[in-house]
Amino acid sequence: MKSSITQTAQSIELSVNQKLEGYSTTEEMNSAIKVSADKINSEVKKKVGEDEIISKINQSAEKIQIDANKISLKGKEINLTSDNIGINSDFFQVTPDGKVTIIDNSASTSAFNFFIRNTENQDNLLMKPNWVMLDNSGGSNRVHLYTSNHYSRISAKAGECTVATETSSGYYARTTYTDGFNNTTVAADGITTPKLNQTSLESIKKNISHYNENALETILNSDIYSYNLKTEKDTDKKHIGFVIGDKYKTPKEVMNNEGNAIELYSAIGILWKGMQEQQKKIEELENKLKEVTNG
């Protein structure tokens, strides 16, 4: 174990070193403080075997930099006066007036909300939300990006991404994709797009075989209805199509596996084959008519 003080005209350096040798490991601890006219540096090292942990504080007149695996802030109120603060933690909240509220992580719950509020000069953000929230309430594990007054937000978690805008009746989800000329909008009440392509390559399919069922019979044994959605007005233009329900004649051949939606591609395939069958019957009748005519 040794300690030293080194002094020159430019700086003063204080250091302490302790080395402990055990049966299987060697533990070494070292701390040092260096003071010069323009900055103060402090460093603490701990090395056990090949593993080394280092924490540093570098201070100059312009800034203070802290490097450590863990940084703990304790207090009922911590005031931050900077206009541009970068923070990465799960256990405190930044409020608009620059105060940090410590969230107690000793409670037997993993629920927390972590807020970062944006400032106008924070141009390094690609999207400039008014504030960001990491939400683990109820195990939701969501990230929220909010604009001012919460009128629009982006929420994301594993397997889900929602873009929502607030209206007088609540939130509705909508995502818009644009290339500057064309717009595709995916909303809670429908999809609007200038072109819709369904992939149909052999390379993504299996169990391929000809559909030999009577498509025309399937078409004739189904009903088509006109209707309004419950979210629409009675005076709105009616839609035309299938209705799924016990009292409606909608063929299972055009439904999805869950039986709660229509597979449009399957419906087109049934219609296509039905036209082929109808055309074949027309040709057969034409041939019989020729035979009768020609006697």
Alpha helices in the chain, H assignment, sequence order? 215-220, 264-293
pLDDT value at position 133? Answer: 58
Beta carbons within 8 Å of 263's beta carbon, 6+ residues apart? 254, 255, 256
> For 82-108, what is the HEC assignment?
CCCCCCCCCCEEECCCCEEEECCCCCC
CB under 8 Å to 265, separation ≥6 — which residues?
198, 200
Predicted pLDDT at 143: 64
What pLDDT, on the 0 to 100 scale, is given for residue 220? Answer: 96
Distance CA 120, CA 129 (A): 10
What string of pLDDT tens digits covers the 295 residues of the chain? 788 888 888 889 988 888 877 655 667 888 999 999 899 999 998 888 778 889 999 999 888 888 888 777 777 777 666 555 555 455 555 555 555 554 544 443 333 444 444 444 444 333 444 555 556 555 566 666 656 555 566 666 666 666 666 655 555 667 777 787 888 888 878 889 999 999 999 999 999 999 999 999 999 999 999 999 998 999 999 999 999 999 999 999 999 999 999 999 999 999 999 999 999 999 999 999 998 988 6
Q: What three-state secondary structure class fits 252?
A: helix
Is 46 within 8 Å of 53 (Cβ atoms)?
yes
Question: How does DSSP assign 242-262, residue by residue?
Answer: ---STTS---GGGB-TTSSSB
- In sequence order, what are the beta bridge partners of 65? 58
Q: Give the pLDDT confidence score for residue 52 in this predicted structure.
A: 86
Position 209 scores a pLDDT of: 96
pTM of the model: 0.50
CB 103 within 8 A of CB 93: yes
